[in-house]
């Protein structure tokens, strides 16, 4: 991203000194590349950088080169808003991707309505798209859907009494609230509700309390970062044998490395990105998933994460919309984006409507379980 920013500076100079040779399409991004949400923003930034390179090598959009301008907001809403203003006013972008965190997204959102610029958020919370804002879209599943998916799996196993242990970071707190909200409608009862700080190092007291709750049948851990890995290890340390669920927040191979053998048997809702080789031949997501993984591994020498996948989908949705709009007018791009139908991404198959700016249904979410140190789909 540094290179892009330098390129931005250089090209700004070039514009001052000479007439621009080719018109460019500028896309902006404000991501949490450092700070507490760096494990979201870092793969997102890497993914965007990779995709832009790839796109320009293949001739750009309708023959026009694409320029990406990325800023690091460190998940600070205050910074995010300043950078969003900068992207719109100074960098004159036609669309913005980003907001790794819900706070950053919500702080930026009003600006896009003011300036009429389309914006695709990579953050999870349901408040981003409910109520729908005309210029705001998002690619990840909502935390509400994750709760519904987990609860559906729990009731399918004939269980209903659930203990929550949630991180107190934005992700964990928001998902906890959604889980409490949908519990009754999903046919489960929350009988224990504990929390832990995002960087706590021992959660055995909370787990001990949950395990001692009358009639407890399953444990769900909404959270991301290192917390869920500690919870998983503590769960194994205490020798608990209740069905154990993690969230999509840790759906990555890095989590398996941190949690080790303790993760064996746990389940979580995830995107197909984790099981590229186990997708059916006719699965529309098979192609994008395999393309993304191959390209990312080649460029960075590591596996992509679910979060990078959100950026992958946001970028392709945007490029697709610009191509269909046949114009770089932000409002026309927005209209094309909202008309997206059946776009197969790595996260799911997107169909936006004026009432739905997330465009995914529960089917894109799959319940996976950890078996033999890898991810396996749970047959329904």
Partner 1 sequence: MSELLQFLISGITVGAIYAAIALGFTLIYNASGVVNFAQGEFVVIGGMTAAALIGAGVPVWIAAPLAVIAGMLVGVLLYRLAIRPAGQAPLVSLIIITIGASIFLRGAMQAVFDKQIHRYDGFSGDAPLRVGGATILPQSLWIIGGSVAVFAFLAWFLNRTRAGRGIRATASNRMAAALVGINTGRAMNLSFALSAAIGALAGVLATPVTFTSYDVGVLMALKGFSATMLGGVGSPLGALAGGLLIGLIEALTAGYISSDYKDASAFIVILLVLFLRPQGLFGARIMERV
Partner 2 sequence: MAGQGTTVATAPVETARRAHVGNGKARALIGPGLCTFLIFAVLVALGALIFPSSYFYRVGTLVWINTLAVTGIVVLLGYVGLVSLGHAGFFAIGAYATAIGPNYGIPSPLAMAGGVALAGLLALVVGRPILRLSGYYLAIATLGLGMLIWMVLSKEAWLTGGPDGMTVSGMNARNLFKLVGLKLKSAEAWYWVAGFVAAIGAAIAVNLANSPSGRALRAIHDSDVAARSLGIDVARAKSRAFVISAIYAAVAGALLALANGYITPETGGFMHSVEMVTMAVLGGAASVFGALVGALILTALPQLLTVFADYEHMVLGAIMVVTMIAMRRGLVPFIADLWNRRKS
Which part of the chain contacts partner 2 (CB under 8 A), choosing from 70-78, 185-193, 241-249, 293-301? 70-78
- Could you give the residue ranges of the DSSP H alpha helices within 245-305? 253-259, 286-300
| Binder of residue 232, out of partner 2, partner 1, none (CB less than 5 to 8 A by kind) | none
DSSP at 190: E
- Contact by Cβ (8 Å): 188, 151: yes
CA dist 191 → 90, 143, 149, 151, 211 (Å): 52, 20, 19, 14, 11
Closest approach of partner 2 to the CB of residue 166, in Å: 11
User: In this complex, which beta carbon is closest to partner 2, that of residue 127 or of residue 152?
Assistant: 127
CA dist 4 → 8, 43, 112, 173, 320 (Å): 6, 16, 23, 35, 22
Residues paired with residue 161 on neighbouring β-strands, in sequence order: 189
Closest approach of partner 1 to the CB of residue 357, in Å: 30
Q: Which of residues 251-270 bind partner 1 (CB under 8 A)?
A: 254, 258, 260-261
Closest approach of partner 2 to the CB of residue 106, in Å: 5
User: In this complex, which beta carbon is closest to partner 2, that of residue 82 or of residue 351?
Assistant: 82
Residues 114-133 vs partner 2: string with x where CB under 8 A?
x----------x-x------
Which part of the chain contacts partner 2 (CB under 8 A), choosing from 166-174, 207-215, 251-259, 336-344? 166-174
User: In this complex, which beta carbon is closest to partner 1, that of residue 255 or of residue 350?
Assistant: 255
Which part of the chain contacts partner 1 (CB under 8 A), choosing from 88-96, 215-223, 228-236, 312-320? 228-236
- Contact by Cβ (8 Å): 70, 49: yes
Q: Which of residues 180-219 bind partner 1 (CB under 8 A)?
A: 194-197, 199, 201-202, 204-206, 208-209, 212
The closest alpha carbon to 174, from 202, 195, 191, belongs to 195
Q: How far apart are the first and last CA of the chain?
A: 42
User: In this complex, which beta carbon is closest to partner 1, that of residue 242 or of residue 339?
Assistant: 242
Binding residue for partner 2 (CB under 8 A) from 11, 56, 82, 290?
A: 82
The closest alpha carbon to 175, from 187, 155, 161, 190, belongs to 190
Q: What share of the chain is helix, strand, coil (3-state, %, to 5)?
A: 45, 20, 35
User: In this complex, which beta carbon is closest to partner 1, that of residue 142 or of residue 234?
Assistant: 234
- Contact by Cβ (8 Å): 235, 219: yes
Strand pairing class (95-98; 119-121): parallel
- Contact by Cβ (8 Å): 235, 207: yes
Which part of the chain contacts partner 2 (CB under 8 A), choosing from 3-11, 202-210, 260-268, 349-357? 3-11
Distance (Å, whole) CA 251 – CA 313: 17
Tokens found for residue 379: 């047959």
The contacts of residue 179 (CB under 8 Å, 6+ apart) are: 143, 147, 150, 151, 164, 190, 220, 222
User: In this complex, which beta carbon is closest to partner 2, that of residue 173 or of residue 210?
Assistant: 173
Residues 21-40 vs partner 1: string with x where CB under 8 A?
-------------xxx-xx-
Closest approach of partner 1 to the CB of residue 29, in Å: 17
Binding residue for partner 2 (CB under 8 A) from 43, 98, 103, 288?
A: 103
| Binder of residue 114, out of partner 1, partner 2, none (CB less than 5 to 8 A by kind) | partner 2
Residues paired with residue 196 on neighbouring β-strands, in sequence order: 167
| 90 touching partner 2, by CB under 8 A | yes
For partner 1, the binding residues (CB under 8 A) are 34-36, 38-39, 42, 168, 194-197, 199, 201-202, 204-206, 208-209, 212, 225-226, 229-230, 233, 236-239, 254, 258, 260-261
Residues in touch with partner 2 (CB under 8 A): 1-2, 5-6, 9, 33-34, 71-72, 76-79, 81-83, 85-86, 88-90, 101-103, 106-107, 110, 114, 125, 127, 168-170, 173-174, 177
């Amino acid at each position: 991203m540094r290179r892009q920013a330098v390129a931005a500076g250089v090209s700004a100079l070039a514009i001052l000194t000479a007439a621009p040779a080719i018109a460019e399409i500028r896309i902006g991004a404000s991501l949490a590349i450092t700070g507490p949400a760096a494990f979201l923003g870092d793969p997102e930034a890497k993914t965007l950088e990779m995709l832009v390179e790839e796109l320009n090598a293949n001739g750009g959009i309708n023959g026009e080169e694409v320029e990406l301008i990325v800023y690091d907001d460190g998940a600070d809403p205050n910074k995010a808003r300043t950078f969003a203003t900068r992207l719109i006013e100074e960098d004159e972008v036609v669309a913005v991707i980003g907001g790794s965190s819900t706070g950053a997204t919500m702080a930026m959102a009003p600006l896009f309505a003011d300036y009429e610029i389309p914006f695709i958020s990579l953050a999870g919370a349901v408040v981003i798209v409910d109520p729908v804002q005309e210029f705001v879209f998002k690619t990840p599943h909502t935390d509400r859907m994750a709760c519904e998916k987990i609860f559906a799996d729990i009731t399918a196993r004939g269980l209903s009494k659930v203990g929550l242990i949630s991180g107190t970071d934005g992700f964990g707190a928001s998902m906890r609230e959604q889980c409490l909200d949908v519990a009754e409608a999903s046919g489960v009862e929350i009988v224990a509700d504990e929390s832990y700080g995002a960087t706590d190092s021992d959660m055995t007291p909370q787990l001990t309390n949950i395990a001692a709750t009358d009639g407890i049948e399953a444990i769900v851990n909404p959270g991301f970062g290192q917390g869920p890995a500690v919870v998983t290890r503590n769960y194994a340390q205490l020798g608990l044998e209740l069905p154990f669920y993690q969230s999509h927040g840790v759906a990555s191979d890095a989590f398996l490395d941190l949690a080790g053998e303790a993760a064996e048997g746990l389940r979580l809702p995830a995107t197909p990105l984790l099981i590229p080789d186990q997708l059916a031949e006719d699965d529309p997501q098979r192609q994008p998933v395999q393309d993304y993984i191959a390209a990312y591994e080649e460029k960075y020498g590591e596996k992509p994460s679910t979060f990078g996948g959100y950026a992958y989908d946001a970028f392709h949705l945007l490029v697709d919309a610009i191509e269909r709009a046949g114009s770089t007018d932000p409002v026309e791009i927005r209209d094309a984006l909202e008309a997206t139908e059946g776009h197969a991404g790595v996260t799911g198959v997107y169909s936006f409507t004026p009432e739905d700016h997330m465009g995914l249904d529960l089917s894109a979410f799959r319940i996976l379980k950890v078996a033999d140190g890898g991810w396996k789909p749970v047959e329904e």
